[in-house]
Amino acid sequence: MRTLRRPTHRAAPGAVGRRGAAGLGRLFGPVRDARGMAKWVLWIGLGITVLFIVLAVFAPLVAPYDFDQYRNAEGIRFGKQAPPSAAHLFGTNVLSTDVLSRVIFGSRTALTVVVIAVVFALAVGLPLGLISGYFGHKLDRVLVLVMDALFAFPYLLLAIVIAFLLSETIGRGVMSAAVAIAVVYIPQYFRVVRNHVISVREEPYVEAARALGARPRTIIVRYVLFNVIQTVPVIATLNAADAILTLAALGFLGYGIQPTDAAEWGYDIQRAIADAGSGIWWTGLWPGVAIVLLVTGLTLLGEGLNDVLNPVLRRRRIERVDLPSREARVLEPGGEA
Amino acid sequence: MAKQSTSLRTYALTRLGLALPMVLLLLTLVFILMRVAPGDPISAALGGRLPAEELARRRAAAGYDRSLVVQYFDYLGDVARGDFGQTISDNRSVTGLIVQNGAATLELTLVAMLIAVGVGTLVGLVSGRLRDTPADAAGRLFGIVIYAAPIFFLGFLAQLVFGKWLGLLPTSGRASPVVVFTMDSPTNLFIVDALIGGDMEALGDVLRHLVMPATTLGLVIGGVFIRLVRVNVLQTLQGDYVEAARARGVRERHVVFRHAFKNALVPVITVMGLQFALLLSGAILTEQTFNWPGLGSELVRYLDNRDYIAVQGIITFVALVVVVVSMLIDLINAWVDPRVRYA
Amino acid sequence: MGPEPALSLRGLRVWYGTIRGAVRAVDGVSLDIRAGETVGLVGESGCGKSTLGRGIMGLLPEGAVMDGEVWFGGRNLVGLPPKQLRRMRGPQMGLIFQEPMTRLDPLMRIEDHFTETVKTHEPGIDDHEIRRRSLEALGRMGIPPTRFRQYPHEFSGGMRQRIMIALVLVLQPSLVIADEPTTALDVIVEAQILAILADLKRNFDTALLLISHNLGIVAESCDRLAVMYAGKIVEEGPTVSVFAEPAHPYTRELLRSVISLKTTGLHYIPGAPPDLIDPPRGCRFHPRCPDAMRVCVRDPIEQRLDGRRVLCWLHGPASEIPEGGIDPLQRDRISIADEA
């Protein structure tokens, strides 16, 4: 006899008393159940992302040389714009630095800046969205107008101007790049959180809590926040993917990290454009591929999570059914079918 | 309760009313950004190069010694009159610079948008219809990867492959120097000018210069459309009116094209409006990559020269354009989808 | 006997595949509907009524399998090529849906909906004729010609349902399946719709299958009534006699649960509807049945008693019941988990 598998238990939305575990726990069930393409997408995205995290964290150990190193231990200069070879797997660039090392250290730069930027944007956008969505009225209207205006503006223009202004005031570096990027994404977090809060706010269980006399702070934190937090992993991941592109764009235009401070992929490609005319392909290809890979990985991870968690798009797996023949269902004297 | 259809005109007026606060907000934002920088535009640009009294004189002449509030209202007034002033570094009329380089950017972005919508909707429709097949996976992956590729990276590859190795296409500028020199350019939209002048050779040259930048930008933006159109197709195919049509025996072909696809494409127009800002951002990068003399490359140039008057003028212009375009998109949307016409 | 029934189901099964196993939404249903007759199909949510309706029309989603016999127009619809089935939908059989708000294409005018429907099945027809027939169908529903060119969102829910019905009837099918046609509408509109359906029977001799969980409208509109539980029809017969003397305990409990002005205490059937993937052994209602006997763990055999059918051991056949079979069934209290 076939045993019946218990269906994955779904907690009541924002169940009181269950802390973060409920939020994360709701992630793992659907992830385990994911089938078909959604599963592939999720795991490939995760794999790529983890790879880059490892590269970033262990950069000094993994990279053959330092990111601005232009000569070896004996003091002999590396070749300038040398094609890929055994000593330099990805070749060298116009400053005689090793491309492979710069790519690896570039991942460290990218992930550092992006993590700071996302955390910062979340720290500002999430609370603002929560408050605005829950309390509504004038405050909400003003905030929405401001955020919409920011959102409508071309993001790169905004990032450039802010990065530029910050570099004039607090100097170029990881912080000014991260802040410039964060400002661009705050409206997005605000919007998503606010919309989610508004829909949750109207849910019967929130109304019930209000009727029971719960303080707004309690309702916001225990009910609304825990429901909204569910959407954060997906948004943050997709956001991080976008932020990498923004950082690279800033680097390309020259408003990003100081080249002497760290390796940055966008900046390297900008240097490489001049090389294209001479047919030198390795200085631009590898940083570019790194960007494409990391952004794709993060996007796949985000989309995979979304596919798996979002019930609207989730497609129930269709199993084959074999109708048993009618003879087999004839009643036996013992009552067994 | 039956709702009667609001006329398009009423909707347009309402929409206009909503746009004004947005414009004001954006202009205020621009003003704040430009004044946050240390000092005023003149000191910033010419600070090290002029003696102190000359600097002070120019500042007073331009009105930068007055209170910020006064300067703010001055700025608003100027914008209303369309007066963006003169650039500090090379004493050009900012309005003139906007018109000239703006046309170049316009040409680039229009063609890129056409490519983006074309490629995006096509792949998106096919992908959505053939859900979960290899074709769908390929389409989705293409959309993701192409968006993940920075424009300047694609530009680099394009220049390498089509410029250097295959030698097919030029890698910088809007047209060959000869054409730029000899062609009459009343509208500054080279394609239009070439057509007006009946100069087919110039037209060919201009188009050859446009192909790589526009396609690079268009493909990247197209990636966004693929995702959107696909999701829409999936949702409309599951829709109740689709099932009802099938229940009436309507042919599957008609169900898919007439009902599902048509409804799936309605939001595309809105998205085009939303992507416009993205397009402008991309244009900056494209112009830098291909040496396209548009507003984006001018912005970078003037910014590096600390020419804040020019920068302010360009950004103000962009803000205004964004609001106008977004309004236009809303109007077109209301025209296409009769449900939209009441607020 | 009487004339040939318009629709005849024999042993119909519709199963869906899921990760946990096959859902036996419809598990051996037999039913006849004659021309001009309205047959009601009642049951709780999730008992398989809607699936049955869709199965007859050939509108099952991907992954569902169907076997058995559906005799209509002299042919067995089960196994018919989809193209032929499609051609029958509209001119020969129609389906009225539950939720009218979203059933019309928002970008198409009402006129376009009609043109599409009619032209699909009668391609040669001219526009004038299409317009005439459409307006006539709409007119019978109380929709004025002035609104013919309006868009769906300009109509209320009740009017949209009437438009939907007009769309179904414009080609005058001989079989109409109405799947909870009034559930989403208010009582006044409900009365109008029921009047329209009654009119169908009188003037067009349409065979109507009315699917509903609302016993009230079924009592009012249906000649005969079939009660469905867990994918099977447990009782079937003329509405009046089923209501007056329900033969099956489930029917009896259902009728008792209906609230009227005389109700002083709420009556409900304990337990929850059974899991269609792994239904109870034997009679599917026995875990919740107040009259369950020991023999009820075996599959009951369908009995006929004066014009009615019932699937219950209470009505025999006595010859099949073993010694001690009619003793009450000992069972544990229904666990709380089952209620969840």
Give bridge partners of residue C211 from the DSSP assignment. Answer: C41, C179
B297-to-A86, B278, C21 alpha-carbon distances in Å? 39, 16, 62
In 10 A of CB A1, how many CB atoms? 4
Looking at every residue in chain C, the average pLDDT score rounds to: 88
**B37–chain C Cβ distance below 8 A for any pair:** no
Extract the tokens encoding B137. Answer: 């996976």
Give bridge partners of residue C32 from the DSSP assignment. Answer: C8
**C65–chain A Cβ distance below 8 A for any pair:** yes
**C134–chain B Cβ distance below 8 A for any pair:** no
What is the mean predicted confidence (pLDDT) over B143-151? 91
Annotated domain spans of chain C: 106-166
pLDDT at C1: 45
Query: Residue B86 carries which DSSP code?
Result: B
For residue B211, pLDDT beyond 60:
yes
Which residues in chain B touch residue A153, judged by CB atoms under 8 angstroms apart?
26, 29, 277, 318-319, 322
Q: Does the A28-314 domain belong in CATH 1.10.3720.10?
A: yes
CA distance C102 to chain B (A): 6
For residue B12, pLDDT beyond 80:
no
A113-to-A260, A266, C193 alpha-carbon distances in Å? 16, 13, 64
pLDDT at A337: 33
**C166–chain B Cβ distance below 8 A for any pair:** no
**B171–chain A Cβ distance below 8 A for any pair:** yes
Mark yes or no for CB contact C159/B263 under 8 Å: no
Which residues in chain A touch residue C17, judged by CB atoms under 8 angstroms apart?
318-321
Residues with Cβ within 8 Å of residue C304, at least 6 apart in sequence: none
Looking at every residue in chain B, the average pLDDT score rounds to: 82
What is the mean predicted confidence (pLDDT) over B211-234? 89
Which residues in chain C touch residue B252, judged by CB atoms under 8 angstroms apart?
86
Distance CA C225, CA C206 (A): 17
Distance CA B259, CA B238 (A): 11
Of C303, C310, C311, C257, which Cα lies nearest the Cα of C284?
Answer: C311
Distance CA B127, CA B230 (A): 6
Percent of chain A's residues with pLDDT above 90: 28
Q: Three-state DSSP class for C96?
A: strand
**B133–chain C Cβ distance below 8 A for any pair:** no
Q: Contact A191/A132 with Cβ under 8 angstroms? A: no
- C268 compared with C84, residue with greater pLDDT: C84
**C104–chain B Cβ distance below 8 A for any pair:** yes
Q: Three-state DSSP class for C293?
A: strand
Extract the tokens encoding A14. Answer: 């924002």
pLDDT band at B243 (very low <50, low <70, confident <90, very high): very high
Distance CA C145, CA C80 (A): 38
Name the residue among A37, A252, A291 with its Cβ closest to that of B285: A252
Query: Where do we find the tokens 């048993």?
Result: A324
Distance CA A103, CA A293 (A): 12
pLDDT at A26: 53
Mark yes or no for CB contact C62/A335 under 8 Å: no
Mark yes or no for CB contact C19/A331 under 8 Å: no
Name the residue among B148, B159, B285 with its Cβ closest to that of A299: B148
CA distance C89 to chain B (A): 5
Find the closest chain C residue to B236 by CA distance.
C105
State the count of interchain CB pairs (< 8 A) between A and C.
47
pLDDT band at C340 (very low <50, low <70, confident <90, very high): very low
Mark yes or no for CB contact A152/B29 under 8 Å: no
Highest mean pLDDT pick, A298-312, B37-51, B267-281, C139-153: C139-153
In a 13 Å sphere around the CA of A137, the CA atoms on its Cβ side amount to: 1
pLDDT at C211: 94
Extract the tokens encoding B253. Answer: 């072909």
Which residues in chain B touch residue C150, judged by CB atoms under 8 angstroms apart?
5
**C103–chain B Cβ distance below 8 A for any pair:** yes
Extract the tokens encoding A176. Answer: 């000014």
CA geometry: angle A281, A283, A284, nearest 5 deg: 75
CA distance A201 to chain B (A): 22
Reported as a single tens digit per residue, the pLDDT across A49-64 is 999 999 999 989 888 8
CA distance B305 to chain A (A): 12
Name the residue among A320, A323, A331 with its Cβ closest to that of C13: A323
CA geometry: angle B143, B146, B151, nearest 5 deg: 145
What is the mean predicted confidence (pLDDT) over C312-335? 76
How many residues are recorded in chain B? 343
For residue A331, pLDDT beyond 50:
no
Interface test with C, best of A6, A321, A336 (most C CBs within 10 A): A321
pLDDT band at A166 (very low <50, low <70, confident <90, very high): confident
pLDDT at B4: 44
Give bridge partners of residue C38 from the DSSP assignment. Answer: C208
Q: Exposure pattern of A69-101 as b/e (b: 16+ CB <10 Å)?
A: beeeeeeeebeebbebeeebebbbbeebbbbbb
Distance CA B234, CA B327 (A): 28
Which residues in chain B touch residue A295, judged by CB atoms under 8 angstroms apart?
147-148
What pTM was computed for the model? 0.77
Interface ipTM > 0.90: no
Find the closest chain A residue to C277 by CA distance.
A4
Of C215, C241, C216, which Cα lies nearest the Cα of C308?
Answer: C241
Which residues in chain A touch residue C22, judged by CB atoms under 8 angstroms apart?
319, 321
Mark yes or no for CB contact B38/A249 under 8 Å: no
Reported as a single tens digit per residue, the pLDDT across A309-321 is 765 555 555 666 6
Extract the tokens encoding A214. Answer: 């719960």
Find the closest chain C residue to A336 by CA distance.
C298
State the count of interchain CB pairs (< 8 A) between A and B.
143
For residue B45, pLDDT beyond 90:
no
Give bridge partners of residue C238 from the DSSP assignment. Answer: C224
CA geometry: angle C131, C210, C140, nearest 5 deg: 25
Annotated domain spans of chain A: 28-314
For residue C336, pLDDT beyond 50:
no
Highest mean pLDDT pick, A13-27, A79-93, B187-201, C297-311: C297-311
> Of the ranges A209-223, B42-56, B300-314, C125-139, which one carries the lowest mean pLDDT score?
B42-56
pLDDT at A30: 60
**B299–chain A Cβ distance below 8 A for any pair:** yes
State the count of interchain CB pairs (< 8 A) between B and C.
80
Distance CA C33, CA C39 (A): 7
Reported as a single tens digit per residue, the pLDDT across C239-271 is 999 999 999 999 998 888 887 777 777 888 888
